[in-house]
């Protein structure tokens, strides 16, 4: 007997601001890329990454939190792979997310520190740096 496991956890960059459809589901495209440390360099090399559409049901995450996510934010998405039908009738394999969290890698922190000319930044400085990008 074989068991199919379709749970997935990916970290990547949001490529477009999240949008809501008529069912109040929130959707956004995400690019997972292991070679790049910033969204700008990853977007230039999408062929070597994994581009996935993420669908978040309102019961899975706070809509207020999802509204704060923007293009270029790095997130970790956990959920299940599924076939989803969108409003326009198109079916697509998506991640049905049960969790979406902002994530920062050590490389991102180092890059931010280099950009500001400081050492490793504390969390308040990191947030301020992200907002000014």
For residue 112, pLDDT beyond 80: no
Q: Which domain holds residue 125?
A: 104-133
Q: What is the pLDDT of residues 22-57, one digit of tens each?
A: 666 788 888 887 666 677 777 777 677 778 888 887
The pLDDT confidence band at residue 4, using thresholds 50, 70 and 90, is very low
The Cα–Cα gap between 57 and 55 comes to: 7
Residues 97 and 113 in one domain: no
Tell me what pLDDT residue 92 has.
Answer: 79
Total number of domains in the chain: 2
Residue 100, burial from CB neighbour count under 10 angstroms (0-12, 13-18, 19+): buried
The Cα–Cα gap between 16 and 3 comes to: 35
Residues 124 and 90 in one domain: no
Is 1 a domain residue? no
Residues 34 and 96 in one domain: yes
Tell me what pLDDT residue 116 has.
Answer: 55
Is 109 a domain residue? yes
Of 5, 3, 8, 2, nearest in space to 94 by CA: 8
For residue 89, pLDDT beyond 60: yes
Residues 22 and 82 in one domain: yes
Count CB neighbours of 61 within 10 A. 18
Residues 85 and 117 in one domain: no
**Half-sphere exposure (Cβ direction) of 27: Cα atoms closer than 13 Å:** 17
Of 22, 40, 41, 86, nearest in space to 54 by CA: 86
Tell me what pLDDT residue 37 has.
Answer: 67
pTM assigned to the model: 0.65
Residues 89 and 120 in one domain: no
Residues 49 and 86 in one domain: yes
**Which CATH number fits the domain that encloses residue 18?**
2.40.50.140
3-class secondary-structure state, position 115: helix
The pLDDT confidence band at residue 115, using thresholds 50, 70 and 90, is low
What Å distances lie between residue 28 and 37, 79, 98, 118, 123, CA to CA? 20, 14, 14, 33, 26
């Amino acid at each position: 007997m074989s068991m199919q496991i379709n749970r997935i956890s990916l970290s990547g960059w949001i490529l477009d601001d999240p949008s809501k459809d008529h069912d109040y589901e929130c959707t956004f495209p995400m690019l997972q890329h292991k070679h790049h440390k910033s969204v700008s360099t990853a977007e230039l090399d999408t062929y070597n990454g994994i581009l996935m559409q993420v669908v978040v049901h309102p019961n899975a995450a706070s809509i207020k939190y999802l509204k704060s996510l923007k293009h270029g934010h790095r997130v970790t998405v956990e959920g299940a792979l599924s076939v989803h039908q969108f409003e326009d009738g198109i079916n697509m394999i998506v991640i049905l997310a049960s969790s979406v969290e902002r994530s920062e890698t050590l490389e991102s922190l180092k890059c931010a520190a280099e950009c500001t000319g400081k050492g490793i930044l504390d969390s308040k400085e990191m947030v301020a740096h992200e907002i000014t990008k």
